[in-house]
């Protein structure tokens, strides 16, 4: 008689928010894999459900509680045999309030504590009640995480920096992620090498203020992000490097130079400005002016002429006037963005802006946001259309929506679709862009096909 293997447990992780949350969710799955948890997309069969939350967007907390209400029913249908966890920034901000309103939640853990998940699961199994971990631990959570072993697609995320010391008036990140922390060079390089060995050809370096990274190098001194990019570019098989999200105050000379001298560093940069009004920027505590931002853009484009820029814009920050709004529109027109994320201001409890005088009426915020978004949509469409006629090196990420179609990304992060064989997945191939659309490009495989080992900067 042979032993029957024990049935595996099923894990469902729902992720909201930034790319760092996507990375964190993947690492939580890695942490739980030794306990026998395998992924599922079906809540009905899940033995554990983790809501990895984001506190940036409006009504984030209420959306979490709405989802928790549905999970309560699923847990009851399984006779209570389901572990429910709330992770991420809402967990960090709300803490015990979550268990007060949703006592069926078993685990509440902040973004600095997910390396403790196995211990927390064991504690929850031993005791009635909820286990809460929302302190900022003194140990480095990355030292306690297992190595990534899951197969990768062509693209992967790698967190190199966490936390924020900037304290922008509207932002909860310093309160939910803690102060700035930079991982050491050796740990980053080792993880990047593992990701490449598992199939990644493009790595996006992540951080709340990623260009504030100043990790310890092999010589004991602090490296710059530009120096790290050059080191990562030496990894065989790593064709592309990106990073997000940046702060204008941390864009130093070496990083700007790296955009010109490191071909693997892609010509796309997300650089949030938030407002074009100096008065609003001061109220936001951004630490830069509109002119500072424009000079920075000029220097970046001098270093890499084909650089495409993305940004964040907030409409209706407390105290914003019609003149301030007009200044934001003027800055957008002057820069010309390839992509952008724009939102109307919404108050976050505990942030300085939430109690500022001059809160803008919702109807005014809505109207201003509509103007901002219309202008940004026009710029994105214009940028996409400007790609038509180019032969772009496209990293093929997988099949497209239609039979025989493949999908990928240009150096400027545009999604592009073209007809081609499935074996192109994971390769960089030349694609002639036929047309640009509001959100994507269409093209045709340029002949003869030959994958390029590195992206080349513009002449």
Residue 149 assigned as binding residue: no
Tell me how far apart the alpha carbons of residues 211 and 457 are, in angstroms, rounded to a whole number: 21
How far apart are the C-alpha atoms of 233 and 262, rounded to whole Å? 7
| CA separation for the pair 9, 286 (Å, rounded) | 46
Whether residue 349 is annotated as binding a ligand: the answer is no
Torsion of CA 213, 214, 219, 221, to 10 degrees: 180
- Would you say 168 is a known binding-site residue? yes
Sign of CA dihedral 298, 300, 304, 310: negative
- The 3-state DSSP composition of the chain as helix, strand, coil percent (nearest 5) reads 40, 20, 40
The three-class DSSP label of residue 92 is helix
Residue 171 annotated as lining a ligand binding site: yes
- 353 annotated as belonging to a binding site for a ligand: no
Q: Is 32 exposed, middle or buried (0-12, 13-18, 19+ CB in 10 A)?
A: buried
Q: Can you read off the two tokens belonging to residue 355?
A: 């109690």
Q: How many CB atoms lie within 10 A of CB 121?
A: 20
- DSSP codes, 259-278: HHH-TTB-SEEE---B-S-H
Q: What is the 3-state secondary structure (H, E, C) of 425-458?
A: CCCEEEEEEEEECCCCEEEEECCCCCCCCCCCCC
Q: Is 427 annotated as a binding residue?
A: no
Distance of CA 283 to the CA centre of its chain: 26
- Binding site, residues? 18, 54, 89, 164, 168, 171
Binding residues for [4Fe-4S] cluster: 18, 54, 89, 164, 168, 171
């Amino acid at each position: 008689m042979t032993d029957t293997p024990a049935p595996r447990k099923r894990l469902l992780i729902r992720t909201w928010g930034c790319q760092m949350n996507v990375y964190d969710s993947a690492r939580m799955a890695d942490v739980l894999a030794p306990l026998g948890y395998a992924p599922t997309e079906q809540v009905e069969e899940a033995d554990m459900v983790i809501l990895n939350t984001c506190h940036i967007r409006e009504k984030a907390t209420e959306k979490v509680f709405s989802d928790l209400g549905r999970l309560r029913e699923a847990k009851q249908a399984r006779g209570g045999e389901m572990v429910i966890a709330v992770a991420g920034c809402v967990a960090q901000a709300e803490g015990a309030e979550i268990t007060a309103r949703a006592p069926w939640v078993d685990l509440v853990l902040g973004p600095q504590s997910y390396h403790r998940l196995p211990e927390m699961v064991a504690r929850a199994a031993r005791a009635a009640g909820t286990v809460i971990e929302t302190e900022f631990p003194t140990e480095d959570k990355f030292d306690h995480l297992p190595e990534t072993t899951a197969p990768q697609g062509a693209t992967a995320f790698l967190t190199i920096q966490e936390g924020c010391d900037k304290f922008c008036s509207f932002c909860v990140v310093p309160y939910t992620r803690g102060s700035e922390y930079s991982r050491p060079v050796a740990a980053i390089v080792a993880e990047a090498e593992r990701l490449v060995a598992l199939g990644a050809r493009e790595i996006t370096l992540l951080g709340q203020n990623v260009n504030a990274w100043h990790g310890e190098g092999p010589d004991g001194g602090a490296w710059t992000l530009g120096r790290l990019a050059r080191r990562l570019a030496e990894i065989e098989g790593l064709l592309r490097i990106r990073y997000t999200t940046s702060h204008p105050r941390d864009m130093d000379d070496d990083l700007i130079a790296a955009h010109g001298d490191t071909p693997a560093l892609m010509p796309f940069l997300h650089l949030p400005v938030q407002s074009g009004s100096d008065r609003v920027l001061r109220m936001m505590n951004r630490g830069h002016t509109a002119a500072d931002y424009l000079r920075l853009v000029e220097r970046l484009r001098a270093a890499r002429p084909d650089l495409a820029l993305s940004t964040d814009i907030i409409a209706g920050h407390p105290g914003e006037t019609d003149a301030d709004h007009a200044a934001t529109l003027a800055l957008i027109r002057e820069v010309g963005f390839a992509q952008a994320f724009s939102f109307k201001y919404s108050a976050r409890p505990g942030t300085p802006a939430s109690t500022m005088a001059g809160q803008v009426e919702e109807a005014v915020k809505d109207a201003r946001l509509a103007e901002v978004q219309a202008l940004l949509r026009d710029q994105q469409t214009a940028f996409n259309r400007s790609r038509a006629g180019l032969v772009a090196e496209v990293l093929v990420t997988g099949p497209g929506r239609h039979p025989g179609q493949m999908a990928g990304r240009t150096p400027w992060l545009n999604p592009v679709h073209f007809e081609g064989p499935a074996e192109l997945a994971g390769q960089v191939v030349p694609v002639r862009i036929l047309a640009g659309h509001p959100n994507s490009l269409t093209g045709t495989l340029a002949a003869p096909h030959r994958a390029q080992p590195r992206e080349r900067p513009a002449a």
